[in-house]
Structure 1
Amino acid sequence: MRRRTIILGGSAFLAGASVAFLSRSGSGDAVSRDSFDWTASGLRAGGTAGIPADLPDPVFREQPQCITTLAQTLGPCHTNDVPVRRDVTEGVNGLPTRISLRLVRSENCSPIEGADVEIWHTDTRGVYSGRAARMCNAEDQNASSVSFLRGRQISDADGRVNFLTVYPGWYSGRAVHVHLRVVVEGKELLITQLLFDDTLSDIVYQGHPDYAARPQRDTMNGGDSVFSAAEASGFIFDVERLDIGILQASYTIGVVSP
């Protein structure tokens, strides 16, 4: 395997090399503030058009995050009848990002096959699609009639699902996040959210052409209204930058099996 720089929930390492651990703060706005040599100029723009289907396998931690993940409510921006699909973008612009999730039983970390996994998040402007609460897309009525950045996948024998999307935008009062829901055998087992490293978000928002026109975001992971600073550090994606200039975001989710 080629050496790939990976951000493990705020800690950087090279695949096949030793891990460099990041000291996290328990208070204030900064939960993860790693320093690494990524720049926005090396990241692809314009959405997922032309992204090959045969992307490298995601790198999951040898010791996965197989604890039961924090449960939340669906929230006002969830919608029903979300389609099963790999590419959830519907052509919207942004930094191409593949989100790979691995579903395991929290009691023994064994994979869960056949789980129905749903994700949803905002576009580069911080706008949700779909017929949801007014706060989700009040400034763009056209967004209510489409379903971009929403999708479902069924986990394979290894408990894995892969979504092709774009890096989420931000909106006031919230850290950069992706919502997800897990249903197994018709039973809703988990509703939660996952976060991105603060420094990575700074690189994207300050230099990437699809995001740079927006003002500076007002909320870091440690100041989020849903997660406490202590909680947030455990919910950050592990992120790789692939050779073609897209991001690979990975996380192992532990759930209590039905």
Structure 2
Amino acid sequence: MKRRTVVLQGAAMLASTIVPMPFARRGMAQPLAGRFQERPVSDLTSGGTAGVPDALSAPVFRPEPQCAVTLNKMLGPCHTNDVPIRDDVTEGVTGLPMRVSLRVVDANGCKPIENADVEIWHADVSGVYSGRAAAMCNPDDETVRNAGFLRGRQMTDSDGVANFLTVYPGWYGGRAPHIHLRVLVDDHELLISQLLFDDALNDIIYGQHADYADRQPRDTMNDRDFVFSRSDVKKITFDVETLDIGILQASCTIGLAART
């Protein structure tokens, strides 16, 4: 499979149908220019993960951790228990397909951590969570409360990597679009956090992609989200690229602080 096309950052692109990038990849040790080309939003896939091939090119990670924290955020009201280990977490829900790749390393020295238990969960296109959680997560929707979409766990491989196939998250009032993250090592909970997407990318996807464009504009930007300080935002923003098959690749290298 060919290497990724890239989506470049920049507010000027919001008036265009071209998806540029990588978002938040300013810390890369080696330039990625030349590996990528621009592509229109209309070329991005819609409808969910059905048809996405099993074999995808390997994700590219920053060499240094973007996030090195221990228990800095609460699980939140939309977390549920007994989340299954699985690659595709969608359970057939629609949206822009996206692979989320997380590389877990020791914050001191960046040595990969194998067999870390990585869990993610997030809202669907309409901003709703699945599962039996707080009423605010899926109000008055018993069908959704009995579902488990957009939740899953993976054990990291020898390179410290866990990959999830999902869809781009929707927004809901008062929060910037995000994916929740929890990491356990040897049954010790070492990290609870949330990862963001560049505001310019959110504007493009929510404004132009067929699965998201019918909703009202979101009401909260990254630097206005009450969960994070402005200094947090750069550290916890995904690097996002487009794969040549028209899905997104979101990547983050996470440094775990030593267990005390």
TM-score range, shorter chain: 0.7 to 0.9
**Partner secondary structure for residue 47 of structure 2:** coil
Q: Aligned pairs, how many? A: 241
Deviations along 1:101-147, whole A, 9 cap, x unmatched? Answer: 00001111101001000000000000000000000000433110000
Give 1:10 deviation, angstroms: 6.4
Match of 2:200 in 1: 199
Structure 1 residue 250 and structure 2 residue 223: aligned? no
Alignment of 1:39-188 (within 5 A): 39-65=40-66, 67-68=68-69, 71-188=72-189
Cα separation, 2, equivalents of 1:3 and 1:87: 20
Deviations along 1:64-120, whole A, 9 cap, x unmatched? Answer: 426336720111000000000000000000000000000001111101001000000
Structure 1 residue 7 and structure 2 residue 8: aligned? no
Cα separation, 1, equivalents of 2:67 and 2:176: 23
Shift in alpha-carbon separation, 1:84–1:98, aligned structure 2, 3 A: same
> Is the contact made by 2:23 and 2:201 (CA closer than 8 Å) also made in structure 1?
no
Give 1:3 deviation, angstroms: 6.3
Give 1:182 deviation, angstroms: 0.4
Give TM-score scaled by structure 1 length.
0.87
Cα separation, 1, equivalents of 2:172 and 2:39: 24
- Percent sequence identity is 59
Cα separation, 1, equivalents of 2:31 and 2:141: 42
Bigger mean CA offset, 65-74 vs 55-64? 65-74
Cα separation, 2, equivalents of 1:242 and 1:49: 16
Shift in alpha-carbon separation, 1:87–1:46, aligned structure 2, 3 A: same
Give TM-score scaled by structure 2 length.
0.87
Cα separation, 2, equivalents of 1:57 and 1:2: 9
Cα separation, 1, equivalents of 2:4 and 2:192: 34
Cα separation, 1, equivalents of 2:217 and 2:107: 38
Unpaired stretches in structure 1, ≥5 consecutive residues: 19-35
> Is the contact made by 1:10 and 1:197 (CA closer than 8 Å) also made in structure 2?
no
> Is the contact made by 1:87 and 1:165 (CA closer than 8 Å) also made in structure 2?
yes
Give 1:38 deviation, angstroms: 5.2
Deviations along 1:229-256, whole A, 9 cap, x unmatched? Answer: 2211211000110111100000011112
* Structure 1 vs Structure 2 CA RMSD: 2.2
Shift in alpha-carbon separation, 1:57–1:161, aligned structure 2, 3 A: same
